[in-house]
Amino acid sequence: MTWADLGYRNAGIRATSRDLKFAMAWGLATAELGREPESIEEYAATLEESRATAFRDQQAFRRAFPKEESPTRMNVASGAQARYEEMYRRLRDLKRVSAEAQPMVYTLGASPAIP
């Protein structure tokens, strides 16, 4: 079973697409900070996203992936986190990295889910 399959089963296709984008954004925030965000507020501030949007995205992520506290395990297990960090080191601009990383959402979703 892939992460996308698990998300579809728990939350449906539209929500899972949004949830995988949240996982990617969490990974990008982690790359910029050099560590996992300590809170959803720190995540929102790092990405210059509204607090309300960040909370909605986190809540949706938790519905799709109820056993995951954050997207970190998903990003690390799929290899996406290492790619986000490499892109961030190369580009040093979160907006450029975000644009370049968009196709990785599909790779992340296709990765095997960890039980």
* pTM of the entire predicted model: 0.84
Tally Cβ neighbours within 10 Å of residue 34: 8
Dihedral of the CA atoms 101, 107, 47, 81 (nearest 10)? -90
Question: What's the structural domain count of the chain?
Answer: 1
Residue 115, domain member (yes or no): no
Give pLDDT tens digits for 41-60.
999 999 999 999 999 999 99
The Cα diameter of the chain in Å comes to 37
Domain residue limits at 98: 3-110
Q: Is residue 13 part of a domain?
A: yes
Q: Tell me the average pLDDT of the chain.
A: 88
Mind listing the pLDDT tens digit for each residue in 60-104? 999 999 999 999 999 999 998 998 888 888 877 777 777 777 666
Any domain includes 36:
yes
